[in-house]
Amino acid sequence: MTRNNAFKITIEEVNTLIRKYEFLIENRLSFKYFSRKGKLGFENTIMMLLNFMEKSKQTEINDFFEKVIGNKVTVRKQSFDEAREKISYMAFKTLYEVSVKNGLSTEDAMLFEGFRLLAVDGSTLLLETQEELFNYFGPSTSYKDNVYARISLVGDVLNNFIVDADITPYHKGEREIAVAHVEQINKLKIKNALFLYDRGYWSPKLISMMCDKRNKFLMRMSSNACKFVTDSENDNGNFVVKHEKKEYNLRFFKFALPSGEIEILATNIDNATISNDKLSELYFMRWGVETKYGTLKTKLQMENFSGKSVLAVLQDFYSTIFLSNLIAFAQYVTDDMIKDKNFDSNLKYAYKTNVNQAIGFLKDKLVIAILENDPDKRDKLINYLFDNISKNSIPIRPNRHFIRRESLIKFRKRAVSKTAL
């Protein structure tokens, strides 16, 4: 499979999966649920949660049945809330895992010196101040009166999709989650994986695990991580990390930022495989996972949850990760279409897909494509999606930087929280 087929194949597989009776059996929370086919049903409830919900819930429900199902029926939002509470969040995690499988199966994946670059980074999600959410996700140390979940991603930064994602109680540390990420990546048997970490992940335990499992990594070091390295007058060399009576030989490299600040990188990749000159370039490629949070929080409004229960939060989280991967797969195609259209032009900048416009255009139409059983009609609809998305492009301006910011909704919630005190 090529990258440009990843979107189509994922849609086909999801279409098959959601219609399987076994999928319903595995993901309903009681054998009594969805035993009869009502107005909502298992399939329609899942599709509504995948339909980029942004308006009032009742409006979304009305629009779904009119625009997607083609049938004006009256379904109350209370009925929708009851239906979603009957579906395990694992249904949505399974869909996202389908996208991961297909993203990793492309024959023309972009690599760096033969490595698939997997950047690890964490963040938080602000949740509703509900007792159930507080009891599950726990207290936060940042803001006493708010409820937060901790989330973490492993992003394939050259191919722009999420390979692993986790949402946990706030108290769980990023290093602990990183260990779980490595275990999951090893299960996927990605032989050419190269992990990229920021300095907050420095941990002899994590390093020993990756070395023992023969995982390759590049990690930024803080100035107090290793006195030998920090005090060394050399800009590169070797050093030893000890953990549980075992020693691990690593390599370090120092380089100066334009500000004059010295950064230190540590890796278990030998110089013959990736030279010192390329290590700083390699490290900055982890920037892709930072921008992915911008897509999730700002463009896909991950914090704008469609429910207030723990189950609803988990459903929305994995739904959003799945949609993010589908958008990335669509971009493979539409970016190429945009390049082809501008091939002979003398434009100042190269152009790429406008993700905001793509998300807006996929509203309703994506779930229609997933629900379409006729392969020819589905292909025509997918091509129609690609054609229209490719008509909306934005220039790629070099040397622009993304700064992760708390979303507007977070500030609003915090303001409401403080006002209530």
- Reference 220, options 266, 169, 188, 253; nearest CA is 266
Place of tokens 């209530």: 420
Place of tokens 């940042």: 142
CB 39 within 8 A of CB 73: yes
- Where, residue-wise, is CATH 3.90.350.10 in the chain? 110-291
pTM above 0.85, yes or no: yes
pLDDT confidence of residue 410: 45
pLDDT confidence of residue 150: 95
pLDDT confidence of residue 164: 97
| Residues paired with residue 131 on neighbouring β-strands, in sequence order | none
The token pair that represents 129 in the structure block: 């101040």
| 110-291 topology per CATH | Transposase Inhibitor Protein From Tn5; Chain A, domain 1 (3.90.350)
pLDDT confidence of residue 398: 61
Residue 357 is which amino acid? Q
Q: Please spell the DSSP secondary structure of 149-181, one letter per residue.
A: EEEEEEEETTTTEEEEEEEEETTS-HHHHHHHH
pLDDT confidence of residue 293: 92
Neighbours of 256 (CB within 10 A): 11
The token pair that represents 220 in the structure block: 């930024």
> Strands 393-395 and 262-267, how do they pair?
unpaired
pLDDT confidence of residue 344: 60
What is the Cα–Cα distance from 309 to 307, expressed in whole angstroms? Answer: 6
pLDDT confidence of residue 144: 72
DSSP-derived secondary structure letter, 29 = S
Q: For the chain, how big is the Rg over CA atoms in Å?
A: 23
First to last CA, the chain: 56
Positions in the chain short of pLDDT 70: 55, 142-143, 343-349, 397-421
